[in-house]
Amino acid sequence: MCTAMTLRNRQGEIFFGRTMDFSWPLTPSLYVVPQGSVWDNAPRTARIRDRYSFLGIGQELAPAGGEQAGASVFFADGVNEAGLAAAALYFPGYAEFEAAPEESALSIGSLDMVRFLLGSFASVSEARSVLPSVRIVGIRDSITGTISPLHWFLCDRSGETLVVERTSAGLGLYFNPAGVLTNSPDFPWHITNLRNYMNVTPGQAAGASWDNLALTPFGQGAGTDGLPGGYAPPARFVRTAFERSHILPPDGTEETVTAGFHILSGVSIPKGVVLTARGEPDYTQYTAFMNTNTGEYFFRTYENSETVSVNPASGDVAAARNYGRKEAISLGRLVRPVRFWSI
């Protein structure tokens, strides 16, 4: 599952947000990855050096084969110091990766794509120019025991966007005019599907006469009749695209983050409302927003709706970035104790 979106405020700043909807229990942490960090690609055919530092939310994974040495971090989303943001979302039934690396091309494991993108590129245009020469190799993760079917959404501080999908048809790189990504079907299908909802409007529906019968709307919001209300990927795509494009332009960081959380709350899934074939709840485990201009991170978890903000210029984050370690450094788990304010 998952929903991702971009949002521009009156100051021209670009924010990037996502929900993390998953049926397997996660224990995500916020990480800072210093510039110059070095890591092995999953096929173990290359050593990669991160050109840019970034903040990202990640899940520690055991390496394939159950070995504990060299456990790695799967980054689900993040934003780098140049203002490039990226997220990985599920793409079941459509994602199809390369089976093995080739010596003639750089191979990146599907689970490592977000790290590769954030550590390697300053902009969407840079990523778009290099990705056709990259082999995306399917990697089995230690949580589900399967090769996770993923696709990716990128944006940068200029507002340029890119959807990356690897299917049986090959590599697809798409500009995203809707500023939204969910899951299957493929991205072009979702864009075409929006044409079914051209009659939806934020304005009030007019009255009508059927013969001698005068009809009037029940109340405000009648113009939005027809918006899908379910949690399937097409419904979440349509609902998020409509709200994102019609919301009043927010003013400043706080208003933008608040607006973004309001939009994504409309597609956030309560635990138990959606069940997988395994009978497990697929629900929104966290929601995050990033300011591509400043690198600030904002997140909430299912257990705690209080917004936590992380500034890359703050003392703790800057200290971790400059500590001298050239590896992903955990700033702590996302889950925080719940506080109830007394009045």
| Cα dihedral value 40, 45, 48, 54, nearest 10 | -50
- How many residues does this entry show for the chain? 343
DSSP 48-107: EE-SS-EEEEEEEEPPGGG--TT-EEEEEEEEETTS-EEEEEE-TTT---BSS--TTSEE
Catalytic pick from 1, 2, 55, 117? Answer: 2
- Write the CA distances from 230 to 67, 239, 247, integer angstroms: 40, 9, 21
Active-site residue flag, 155? no
Main-chain phi, psi angles of 283, to 5 degrees: -145, 170
Q: How many CB atoms lie within 10 A of CB 97?
A: 18
- Write the CA distances from 328 to 24, 78, 105, 158, 165, integer angstroms: 23, 12, 26, 27, 26
3-class secondary-structure state, position 32: strand
Structure tokens that stand for 8 in this block: 């521009």
Where in the sequence numbering do the catalytic residues fall? Answer: 2
